[in-house]
Amino acid sequence: MSRIREKVDVCIVGAGHAGCEAALACARMGLNTVIFTVSVDSIALMPCNPNIGGSSKGHLVREVDALGGEMGKNIDKTFIQSKMLNISKGPAVQSLRAQADKADYTREMRKVLENQDNLTIKQAEVTDILTLEDIEHLDDENNILPYEKKEEVPTIAGVRIYTGAIYECKAVVLCTGTYLNARCLCGEAITYTGPNGLQAATHLTDSLKNLGIQMRRFKTGTPARMDKRSIDFSKMEEQFGDERIVPFSFSTDPDSIQKDQISCWLTYTNEKTHEIINQNLHRSPIYAGIIEGTGPRYCPSIEDKVVKFSDKPRHQVFIEPEGIHTNEMYVGGMSSSLPEDVQLAMYRTVPGLENCKIVRNAYAIEYDCINAMQLYPTLEFKSVKGLFSGGQFNGSSGYEEAAAQGLIAGINAALFIKGEEPLILDRSESYIGVLIDDLVIKENLEPYRMMTSRAEYRLLLRQDNADLRLREKGYRVGLVSREQYEYILYKKEAIQNEIERLKKVSVGAAKENQEFLIRHNSSTLKSGSNLAELLCRPELTYEILGEIDPERKPLPEDVIEQVDIEIKYEGYMARQLRQVEQFKKMEKKKIPDKLNYDDVPSLRIEARQKLIQYRPVNVGQASRISGVSPADISVLLVYLENYRNRK
């Protein structure tokens, strides 16, 4: 009997947060999709922190949702506490973060995948990526017979799993997360497993290397989980959720998710903790030099914090529930790769943790991933047609970053198969655009995390207007319904009309108006004004102005929110809009795929090398590559003009 050969449209490798979005996008766009995972029970697993969102990450979830992704809906179904961060700051940096019930999150996402038309879940380790040429040289046993490779840029044609079965397909999306050649370290104890003791994927790296893909090694870590019954919460500060819960998803009715929330708890490390760590540093695999991978600076282990910020007498520790139906608590802020005995001693110095029992030890994990400069902004490999990738495999970190890339990789894989224009979001329209642009064009030396400071046009990229920015794009690719899209059209018009109306409604210096202003601690009018001008005052809101705005018609809450923000910060936003205009000009200047940089005279050597290495798709991108100077860009512009004219 010969081995199994199946034919599908697209294969998704890995069912974490990236894989789930990629698979759902492809299936929803009408393609016959298979998603592979080493464990069906671990679909959309949250192996680290028990929350979704947070500063700038919340933006990503909103954007994923606006485009028709699943993460926002899933956390709305499964959260146990929710908070809008930075509520006293400007609207651009407010961000939603919710504590998830991890088991619920996994279960709900699995349910969505299982019930999705066109989608098949398959528990299997993918071992090989096959090109068209490979497929042409298969024997009955699904072995590739030796042959001479002819295609310079091969085309993807399928994957082979551990059993030898082959799934032929037209596109593959790699979302292998932290599983490739994974290794977990807890002091001297080293296991060759993926996160949470799950089976690592040990074959795929070699297959990718054979395709000419360059691999690198990154590292990350997670703190211990503790038995709730062993913790003394009376020594900690209770952290509540918001009174009024705001959903992540634009399609979740806010009233439907108001519920009792579970608290988190805050405590601190102290001198004693730091002393234990310092005395045992030599037993940390990082400080002992056992770890080869590069770790992220933004979520340092507690060892790192104590060493790097030795002047800080204490560090915060957040105790967060892993779910409702479990006693496990996550010890936020104290990830570590120290040995078990040191961990226990160090945790037990923290107030409230004196008698703690560890359920799962903290550990560091190392894994294979790629430098994403090997990708186009579509997240397709430059060196293999039809091979896409997303998530931690691309050198990022975080569930939200993964979901965002998975969604884009999935959408573009589907568009590739359909022969349609790819979806590329730029830096001026989304955090997703910033994320992907940074990944494919910058030198990333550590797992990449989204940060609000990375988005140069962040006043325009708010979490509150992600739907206005991206719904239409989601609709165009087929992931957003006509009804949802039409609501956006209505919303945009309603916002515009209301802003114009407020600018027209004049407010005189009449007595009742002055009294109104005094009542709200606002300075009185010396001359005539209008409602829009008054709304610019920080102390006045749209709601308050209702008193002197009798003509006002009722509007949906989300329309009012936009009117308020757009008027209040108009000046700042207008400045960013002007910058965006300049930015767009350069982004529109496409660089032909076939351009041979060796033919461009006058480029400096460093710039030429970088351009050949990164192959930017437009001049704007080229200008963001480090080592490419403004003069090089000028030269490139002149050359491109010349090139275009000669065509």
Partner 1 sequence: MALKSDTIAAVATALNDSGIGIIRVSGDDAISIVDKFYRSKGKSKLSDYETHTIHYGFIYHGDELIDEVMVSIFKAPRSYTTEDTVEINCHGGVLVIRKILDLVVQAGARIAEPGEFTKRAFLNGRIDLSRAEAVMDMIHAKNDFALKSSVKQIKGSLYQLILDLRKEILYEIAFIESALDDPEHISLDGYNESLMEKNDALIEKVNRLYLSADNGKMLKEGITTVIIGKPNAGKSSLLNLLVGEEKAIVTNIAGTTRDVIEEQINLSGIGLNIVDTAGIRATEDIVEKIGVERAKNFAMDADLIIYVVDSSVELDESDQDILNLIRNKKVIVLLNKSDLTPVVTEKKLKYNLINVLNDFSDESDPSDREIRIIKVSAKEGIGLDILEETIKEMFFKGELQMNDEVMLTNLRQKDAVKEALDSLLMVRQSLEDEMPEDFLSIDLMGAYSSLGFVIGEEVGEDVVNEIFSKFCMGK
Which residues would be at the binding site for partner 1 (CB under 8 A)? Answer: 49, 55-56, 85-86, 88-90, 92-93, 297-300, 305, 308-309, 312, 315-316, 318, 332-333, 335, 442, 451-454, 458-459, 538, 569, 572, 582, 585-586, 600-602, 604, 623, 626, 629-631, 633-635, 637-639, 641-642, 645-646
* Residue carrying the six token digits 């970088």: 610
Question: Looking at beta carbons only, is 210 or 310 nearer to partner 1?
Answer: 310
Question: Looking at beta carbons only, is 73 or 305 nearer to partner 1?
Answer: 305
Q: Determine contact, residues 364/291, Cβ cutoff 8 Å.
A: yes
| Least CB distance to partner 1 at residue 182 (A) | 20
Q: How many angstroms separate the CA atoms of 247 and 58, rounded?
A: 11
Q: Determine contact, residues 72/65, Cβ cutoff 8 Å.
A: yes
| Least CB distance to partner 1 at residue 25 (A) | 29
Question: Looking at beta carbons only, is 47 or 69 nearer to partner 1?
Answer: 47
| Least CB distance to partner 1 at residue 70 (A) | 24
Q: Which residues pair with 219 in a beta bridge?
A: 366
| Least CB distance to partner 1 at residue 312 (A) | 6
Q: Determine contact, residues 403/339, Cβ cutoff 8 Å.
A: no
Q: What are 415-421's contacts with CB under 8 Å, separation 24+?
A: 415/29, 415/477, 416/170, 416/171, 416/378, 416/380, 416/386, 416/388, 417/9, 417/10, 417/31, 417/170, 417/171, 417/386, 418/29
Q: How many angstroms separate the CA atoms of 506 and 502, rounded?
A: 8
Question: Looking at beta carbons only, is 442 or 492 nearer to partner 1?
Answer: 442
Pairing of strands 171-174, 10-13: parallel
| Least CB distance to partner 1 at residue 491 (A) | 25
| Least CB distance to partner 1 at residue 300 (A) | 7
* Residue carrying the six token digits 């299997």: 124
Question: Looking at beta carbons only, is 57 or 110 nearer to partner 1?
Answer: 57
Q: How many angstroms separate the CA atoms of 541 and 90, rounded?
A: 14
Question: Looking at beta carbons only, is 85 or 135 nearer to partner 1?
Answer: 85
Supply 629's token pair.
Answer: 């100077």
| Least CB distance to partner 1 at residue 537 (A) | 9
| Least CB distance to partner 1 at residue 15 (A) | 24
| Least CB distance to partner 1 at residue 159 (A) | 34
Question: Looking at beta carbons only, is 315 or 491 nearer to partner 1?
Answer: 315
| Least CB distance to partner 1 at residue 305 (A) | 6
Question: Looking at beta carbons only, is 59 or 73 nearer to partner 1?
Answer: 59
Question: Looking at beta carbons only, is 125 or 438 nearer to partner 1?
Answer: 438
Q: Exposed, middle or buried, 402 (CB in 10 Å: 0-12/13-18/19+)?
A: buried
Question: Looking at beta carbons only, is 213 or 607 nearer to partner 1?
Answer: 607
- Phi, psi (5° rounding) for residue 95? -150, 145
Q: Determine contact, residues 383/153, Cβ cutoff 8 Å.
A: yes
Question: Looking at beta carbons only, is 56 or 106 nearer to partner 1?
Answer: 56
Q: How many angstroms separate the CA atoms of 103 and 613, rounded?
A: 43
Q: Determine contact, residues 457/576, Cβ cutoff 8 Å.
A: yes
Q: Quick one: which of 357, 360, 359, 383 has its CA closest to 371?
A: 383
Chain centroid to CA 431: how far? 9
Taking each helix axis from N to C end, the angle separating 340-347 and 271-279, rounded to the nearest 10 degrees, works out to: 170
| Least CB distance to partner 1 at residue 10 (A) | 34
Helix (H) or strand (E) holding 438: helix 431-441
| Least CB distance to partner 1 at residue 641 (A) | 6
Q: How many angstroms separate the CA atoms of 18 and 71, rounded?
A: 10
Question: Looking at beta carbons only, is 79 or 448 nearer to partner 1?
Answer: 448
Q: Quick one: which of 51, 596, 560 has its CA closest to 321?
A: 51
Helix (H) or strand (E) holding 280: none
Taking each helix axis from N to C end, the angle separating 102-114 and 17-28, rounded to the nearest 10 degrees, works out to: 20
CA distances from 391 to 5, 49, 205, 371, 378 (A): 28, 16, 16, 12, 13
Q: How many angstroms separate the CA atoms of 45 and 106, rounded?
A: 6
| Least CB distance to partner 1 at residue 571 (A) | 10
Q: Residues 6 or more apart from 646 whose CB is under 8 A from it?
A: none
Question: Looking at beta carbons only, is 129 or 299 nearer to partner 1?
Answer: 299
